[in-house]
Amino acid sequence: MNSTSTALARSYTKPWTVKAYEALPGNPIWIGIVFTIGLLLIFFVGRAIFDGAESSTPDNLRVAVTHILMTAYSASAYAYLLLSVRKTTLDLSPVARYVPHWQEIVDRSGKHPWWIMLVVGAASYLVVGVAVTNATTPAPANPWEWQSWDYDIYWHRATTVMFVWWIGCFCYVTVVESARLSRLSDRIGSLDLLDMRPYQPLIRQGLTNALLVFGMVSVLSLLGIESRYGPLLVGSWITFIVVAWVGMMLPLRGIRTKIRAAKNQELDWCTQSLRTSREALKSGAVGQQSIAEIMAYKIMIENIRNWPFDSSTLVRFTLYLLIPLGSWLGGAFVERGLDFLLS
């Protein structure tokens, strides 16, 4: 049994993407920007050398550039998510360090069995990447006849493998790590309803998950100027909105359960105290002020939200929803502006 547990623990490792980002100076955001610039330089230099500008079309060029942006963003978002999850777990230590197997939880945060990530990434491409390539290749061209590919399409195919792989791993990690944080918060022994500050890291992580997802959708939305990607984008928006909502709410599910249980306990105490005070009042032993204080406390407990965030958090989530729309509109305006200037 111990050998099995040891083997399982060893299978939890940092994904190679995170190791690569940690080995580089700076945070994942700046690394992602440099990664994007580097890929674009390689693309355009290669395009000039291999005369891709002569054989490619403007549509293929736009798609290739968008694919490059998606590749850099998906890798950076994936690395940033795993690093932020580990930080969130450590930030919960003031209230969670007495949870059983706390050190094991910390050690596993941001880590996953390498073979699971391999399966998730490969399955994402085989299920989603291949279907998208088939659906977006104009007829009667064969999307897998490599002899007919131009320079831009070679980049389409290569970057599709990479960013669909990373997106699949990102979505998997978002759900799994959110569920892990939910279980962790549910195992916390005590909770103070009057001080929810120790659980702010969970709210911050939920918003981070949602922002990373909508950032991904905003980059994908740049494909909206190509009519062949229209149905694909609608499906992507719906899917990613669901992932963002899960990433926002699932980390808080455990603490919501704790809040609801603590509220029920306090409300039961208020009910019992009111009965005792009522009987005492009838007998003339105490004044009505005692009942008024208990009622005030009961109302205060009832007004505590079951979810540990306020309306401003929901407003921020709603504003995040507008990011992909702004990206799509911005891409359309830029496209129309360039057509006007060049016409």
What is the chain's Cα-based Rg? Answer: 26
Q: 68, 38, 33: which is closest to 152 by C-alpha?
A: 68
- Per mean pLDDT, which range of 30-34, 307-311, 322-326 is the poorest? 322-326
Encode pLDDT of 63-82 as tens digits. Answer: 898 999 999 999 999 999 99
Confidence tier at 59 by pLDDT (50, 70, 90)? confident
Q: 182, 154, 164, 199: which is closest to 252 by C-alpha?
A: 182
How many whole angstroms separate alpha carbon 60 and alpha carbon 159? 13
CA dihedral 316, 321, 326, 329 (to 10 degrees): -160
What pLDDT shows up at residue 87?
93
What pLDDT shows up at residue 220?
86
Confidence tier at 171 by pLDDT (50, 70, 90)? very high
- Cis? peptide before 140, omega within 30° of 0: yes
Domain membership of residue 284 as a residue range: 2-342
What pLDDT shows up at residue 55?
64
How many whole angstroms separate alpha carbon 23 and alpha carbon 4? 31
Confidence tier at 213 by pLDDT (50, 70, 90)? very high
What pLDDT shows up at residue 1?
46
Residues 109, 137 contacting (CB under 8 angstroms): no
Q: What single-letter DSSP state applies at residue 109? A: T
Checking if the pLDDT of 84 tops 90, the result is yes
Q: Which helix (H) or strand (E) holds 121?
A: helix 114-124
Residue matched to tokens 């963003």: 73
Could you tell me which residue, 99 or 70, shows the higher pLDDT?
70
pTM reported for the whole predicted model = 0.86
Checking if the pLDDT of 286 tops 60, the result is no
Reading the block at residue 296, the tokens are 């005030």
Mean pLDDT of the chain: 83
How many whole angstroms separate alpha carbon 70 and alpha carbon 319? 22
How many whole angstroms separate alpha carbon 42 and alpha carbon 190? 55
Dihedral of alpha carbons 204, 207, 213, 216, sign: negative
Q: How many residues does the chain have?
A: 343
Residues 218, 55 contacting (CB under 8 angstroms): no
Which amino acid belongs to residue 154? Y
282: Cα separation from own chain's centroid = 57
Number of domains in the chain: 1
How many whole angstroms separate alpha carbon 249 and alpha carbon 209? 10
Which amino acid belongs to residue 101? H
Mean pLDDT on 175-203: 86
What pLDDT shows up at residue 341?
46
| C-alpha neighbours within 13 Å on the C-beta side of residue 207 | 17
